[in-house]
Amino acid sequence: MEFESDAQCIAASTEKSAPFEIKTESDISITEHDDKPGTYMCTAITQGEYLNVHKQTHSEENLYSCTQCDKCFTTARYLKRHMNVHCCRYMCTECGKSFSSKQALTKHGRMHSGEKPFECGVCSKRFTQARNLAHHSRIHRGEKPYKCYVCEKVFSQLATLNNHMKVHTGDKPHRCHMCGKSFAWSGGLNRHMRVHTGDKPYTCHICDKAFSESGHLSKHIRVHTGDKPFKCSVCNKSFSESSHLQNHKHYVHSNRRPYHCPFCGKLFKTNNELKRHLRIHTGAKPYSCIHCSYCFKRLDQLKRHMLKSHNEGI
């Protein structure tokens, strides 16, 4: 069942469950459905026929069925728009994927071209879609309008809340027919299938390097642009990837040292630091010279040996 609208709806699956607490950026009033046993809270337009049409998305009556697949729709308009996918009216020339509208195809095309026309006025980070920019802006405003009704954890994006809910339900209905691995979302399965097919639909428009995921392409683009959108709040140092920023905070600014040596009790910030330290006690020398029988505890010692003894840099 599909409801193609800008309005978002969250539904609680049982009578006893409390509804999600939702706030919208435009302060749209929340309307409660009373025509089903379950409780539904919708951030939808609360006017006449629009609300009535929207309520049909919760009804078990799906009057308009697609003859090409198992999808059903509440209105003929939604079915007609969906049929564009099967007739390939709006098909991507890069990867062959079809879409229900020209607008959806245009948005998808930016994944291949790397175009990001929407820029954040605070940190200058760019996005392929306006809604992604709107979601990102909540980070700067500190807004987290989406709340989990199970554990009351709050999120800045609805999609993040939906992903979080799988922690409580454990639902993974999308299964790979090749290896049996299951996924909570169809998008996760689609990305996984590229492991088997080797498909890399996202191409860099600068060097033509291809990637299996759009996120990987976005990270790669920064190699050419030099963009470093992730800034440390402590020392203002910038990084090209969020993982690099997290590592920086952990190594430089964190006082936590969770890894301890079982021989002398010395504490370390990372497991790799502990492993290097343990060689003092065990005498292990994992780095060996390919030209002679010398072995070393550290890689830098091997590099100096290769350069000094064999005139070879590595």
Q: Could you read off the pLDDT of 87-143 as tens digits, one per residue?
A: 888 888 888 888 888 888 888 888 888 888 888 888 888 888 888 888 888 878 878
DSSP 29: P
- Ordered by start, the domain boundaries in the chain are 1-61, 259-310
pLDDT band for position 71 (50/70/90)? confident
Dist. CA 273–CA 62, nearest whole Å: 59
Give percent of the chain with pLDDT exceeding 70: 80
Residues 178-204: pLDDT tens digits?
898 988 778 888 889 998 999 988 888
Cβ contacts of 310 within 8 Å, gap of 6 or more: 289, 291, 292
Give percent of the chain with pLDDT exceeding 90: 7
Q: For position 54, what pLDDT does the model report?
A: 57
Cβ contacts of 71 within 8 Å, gap of 6 or more: 1, 2, 65, 82
With a cut of 70, say whether residue 148 has pLDDT above it. Answer: yes
Dist. CA 5–CA 51, nearest whole Å: 12
With a cut of 90, say whether residue 264 has pLDDT above it. Answer: yes
Instruction: For residues 39-50, give the mean pLDDT.
Output: 45
Q: For position 22, what pLDDT does the model report?
A: 33
Under 8 Å between Cβ of 263 and 283: no
Instruction: For residues 68-72, give the mean pLDDT.
Output: 83
| SS3 call for 3 | coil
Chain-centre distance for alpha carbon 97: 20
Q: For position 281, what pLDDT does the model report?
A: 92
Domain 259-310 is classified in which CATH homologous superfamily? Classic Zinc Finger (3.30.160.60)
Q: What value does the mean pLDDT of the chain take?
A: 77
Helix %, strand %, coil % for the chain, to 5? 40, 15, 45
With a cut of 70, say whether residue 314 has pLDDT above it. Answer: no
Q: For position 1, what pLDDT does the model report?
A: 40
Dist. CA 107–CA 129, nearest whole Å: 7
Instruction: For residues 4-24, give the mean pLDDT.
Output: 37
Instruction: Name which residue leads in pLDDT, 177 or 163.
Output: 177
Dist. CA 17–CA 274, nearest whole Å: 47
Dist. CA 138–CA 144, nearest whole Å: 7
Q: Which segment of 160-164, 190-194, 293-297 scores lowest on mean pLDDT?
A: 160-164
With a cut of 60, say whether residue 32 has pLDDT above it. Answer: no
Q: For position 112, what pLDDT does the model report?
A: 84
**Which tokens sit at 225?**
């642009």
With a cut of 60, say whether residue 261 has pLDDT above it. Answer: yes
Residues 215-252: pLDDT tens digits?
888 888 888 988 888 888 889 889 888 888 888 887 88
With a cut of 70, say whether residue 206 has pLDDT above it. Answer: yes
Which CA distances in Å does 148 have to 12, 21, 60, 157?
11, 8, 25, 12
Instruction: Read off the pTM.
Output: 0.38
Under 8 Å between Cβ of 17 and 52: no
pLDDT band for position 85 (50/70/90)? confident
